[in-house]
A and B are shown apart, each in its own frame.
Chain A
């Protein structure tokens, strides 16, 4: 069974940093692109960042470029999102996702990030 379990979300001050983690299980991790998708309170879904199986390709939405970094540790079957210079508008639930066919076919339960003073 495919499982994606996020952790690391918490309350942080504007300008602060946070590192989200996602532990994957139930599939051959290196075969899959992974991504982070977020959802602001009461709002829709927004793509944040994605990377391929060996980490050689990474893509970011413009609003997080230069502030967020996606990475993965294939030995630990984990994907990470380092978030620096956080802004109030980054407040969201962050979902770890697995990609297949240029789309998400598995979602984690999400981890909540709140940026507030």
Chain B
């Protein structure tokens, strides 16, 4: 299985500052169609997850531009600029190329 490792697991952030979450995979997962299916999800307390980013760097509809994804190969990053109170929650990366699809352990973002 492709193991997804996130860091840090806990991220206290000051309002208005930038948060950066790393996601590293145990192997490359480029699909035969040439795409890298890496997504990022946000799970606010008590809610279902929602997708923020798909295919490494594409923002979902309605997701603020403060959220951006980047990376390639086995190293990926989610950046949250100008962190707001509503950004508190757990963030997961997920690879959707090789079965079984796998999630990172999650990074808990809190406000300092």
Contacts and interface: CB of A to CB of B under 8 A. Distances in A.
A16 to B, nearest CB: 25
Contact of B101 (A47, A62, A108, A110): A47
Contacts of A104: 39, 41, 49, 51, 94
A60 B50 CA distance: 22
A107 B37 contact: no
A44 B105 contact: yes
Given A102-B96, A104-B51, A108-B48, A47 B39 contact: no
A62 B100 contact: yes
A105 interface: yes
Nearest to B4: A44
A45 B101 CA distance: 11
Per DSSP, chain A at the interface is strand
A105 B97 contact: no
Given A101-B37, A108-B48, A44 B55 contact: no
Interface string B39-81: 1010100001111001100001000000000000000000000
Interface residues of B, number: 26
Contacts, number: 58
Interface in B67-111: 90, 92, 94, 96-97, 99-106
Given A61-B100, A110-B48, A105 B54 contact: yes
A103 B96 contact: yes
Interface in A44-78: 44-47, 50, 59-62
Contacts of B102: 47
A116 interface: no
Interface of A: 44-47, 50, 59-62, 95, 100-105, 107-110
10 contacts: A44-B106, A45-B41, A47-B101, A60-B100, A61-B100, A104-B51, A104-B94, A105-B60, A107-B48, A108-B48
